[in-house]
Each structure stands twice: as C-alpha cells, then as structure tokens.
Amino acid sequence: MSVASGRVRLSAFAKINLDLRVLGTRSDGYHELRTTFQSVALADTLTFTRSRGPFRITCDDPACPTGRRNLVWRAGALVWKASGRRGVPKGVTVHIDKRVPVQAGLGGGSSDAAAALRALPKLWRVRIAPHTLRRLASELGADVPYFLEGGTALGLNRGDVLVPLDDIARAWVVLIVPDFGVSTKEAFGWWDESAGRTSRRRAPAANDLEAVVAARHPIVRRLTSRLTREGASLASLSGSGSAVFGLFATRVMAERAAAVFRGHRVFVARTLSRRECRKLAAN
C-alpha cells in the first residue's frame, strides 16, 4: 500500500500513562502536567484513499463521530490550510477501523489525528516541516504531539512538550475498560473541585486523577486493587480513564490475570518501544 496507489494505511496505537502528576492550573484553562506516556500494541487502523469530492470520514463504530467533530477531520482541515489551500479539504476519504475504546484515557482519537497528520501531506503531495507538524498536533489536543513520537516519553506543560525517555523493558498490559466513559475535561474539573487534595489515608496513586475519578466511579479502585492482587507490578487509571491497566512481566502472567476480569471489556497487549511504534505504524 503506497502513496502511488492512492492509498495509505496506518496503525494508530493507544497509550497508557505510567504516571500522571497534575501540578496546577494554567491561565489558558488547561492543567500543568508531568506524565509518562507509554505506547501499547492496541491500535485503530486508518486507511486514507484518494477520492473525488469533499474530505470524508467513515468508521465501523457508530459511537465515533464522522463529521467535523472528529479530530481526524480537524487534522485534515489544518493540513489543508498549512499547505496553502483554500476552502474545505477534499480529495481523500479516511476509513477508521476503531479498536481503541473511546473516552477511556487511551488516546484513541488523538492517535488517529496524529496518523492523519502523517498521512495526509503524502496524499496531498505537500511537504510540511516537522516543527510545523508538531505545532498543528498541539493545536489539535494536548496529547496529539506524543502520538507523532510514540514509545516511552515524558509529557510536560499540557502534556504536549515531550522528552523522549529510554524505552522501558517490555511488559504486558492488561487493560480493563468499564462500561462508562470519562470526559477528560470533566475529570480535570473534578480535580479542580478537590483543589488537588488527596486522601492521606491511602498511598498516593501513580495517577493524580485516579482519586477524583474513583470518587465518582468506585469500580476504578476495585479494579486497580484487584490487578495488584493478581500480581501487577503497577496498576493504575490511564489518563482520565475510564480504562485501568496492570503491568505484568510476561504474557502468561497477564493472560492469567485477564481471565479474572471476565464480564468486563479486557485487552491484553504488550508495550511498544519508539522504534517498534514507528515500524509497525506503517504496516
């Protein structure tokens, strides 16, 4: 599948946050963060095809918006404008094969947007400098720049200023996705209400949003505790949730633990290094 054939297919990998510290509020309404992003081998597949007519998105998941609210559409509009073209974007149809659960803190929508930023300049035959692409990414959302890089990386400021870190030793991730979603905006609002207070009775969680999300959705704490009892070396909420994850040293250990959570939406996936991410993305 190549640009010459008029079609590009990319995998858009999910992320987890190995830790997440909310350091305070910012004057732009966002929150100052320090977080460690980690790619996992669970991905949406995006197929970009040259076509006649306006830029269009199709998706196999009815829960995924296909109009201008989709970050892929907004990425398309930004690339179109950055390439000096006028009006609404046209000439490409994007099909999203959605595998990464939405509103789960796994960055599915942001990863799709980063894939669009990489693919669309090829299909529209424009060269966009890497620093411009990074700027467009951070305009789209705080964690979109991370998905241009992948692997293990520290996210600072809004999470959009990145410091690549050495890849962690490969681990297996058990992801449990409860049957409700959490809006990131809302979760940060809960953090504001709690004024950053954390319970003194508990050991601090790896993720500062966990306490405020678990206060509304107690199942989150039950799931992380259970993952720890099942032998996870780290169990935490991912981003603003609702997904929780446990890290395990081997696939066998992860699958044994995953079996305990039957009845939930559960995924077992390995972590990906930055190199693997880049290599696998184009397959």
- CA pair distance 175, 120, nearest whole angstrom: 31
Residue pair 272/11 in contact by the 8 Å Cβ criterion: no
CA angle 92, 94, 97 (to 5 degrees): 165
Exposed e or buried b for every residue in 64-88, given b needs 16+ CB within 10 A? bebeeebbbbbbbbbbbebeeeeee
Interatomic CA distance for residues 134 and 75, integer angstroms: 12
| CB closer to ligand C5P out of 156 and 165 | 156
CB of 23 to ligand C5P, least distance (A): 10
Q: In the bound complex, what is the minimum distance in angstroms from residue 25's beta carbon to ligand C5P?
A: 8
- Pick 140 or 232: Cβ nearer ligand C5P: 140
CB of 141 to ligand C5P, least distance (A): 3
Q: Is 122 a known active-site residue?
A: no
Cβ contacts of 51-54, under 8 Å, gap ≥ 24:
51/91, 51/92, 51/93, 52/91, 53/90, 53/91, 54/88, 54/89, 54/90
Question: Of the two residues 142 and 235, which places its CB atom closer to ligand C5P in the complex?
Answer: 142
Q: What is the CA radius of gyration of the chain?
A: 19
Residues 206, 230: contact at Cβ < 8 Å?
no
> What's the longest Cα–Cα distance across the chain?
61
Q: Which is nearer to ligand C5P, 185 or 201 (CB)?
A: 185
- Residue 15: active-site member: yes
The residue (of 212 and 227) whose beta carbon lies closer to ligand C5P is: 212
Catalytic residue from among 44, 112, 143, 167: 143
Min CB(237)–ligand C5P separation in Å: 15
CB of 241 to ligand C5P, least distance (A): 13
Q: Which of 15, 44, 98, 112 is catalytic?
A: 15
DSSP assignment of 175-215: EEE-SS---HHHHHHHHHHTTT---SSSPPPSBTHHHHHHH
Residues that bind ligand C5P (CB under 6 A): 30-31, 33, 141-143, 158-159, 184-185, 188
Q: Which is nearer to ligand C5P, 30 or 190 (CB)?
A: 30
Tokens encoding 159: 């999470």
CB of 186 vs ligand C5P, minimal distance in Å: 8
Q: Which active-site residues does the annotation give?
A: 15, 143
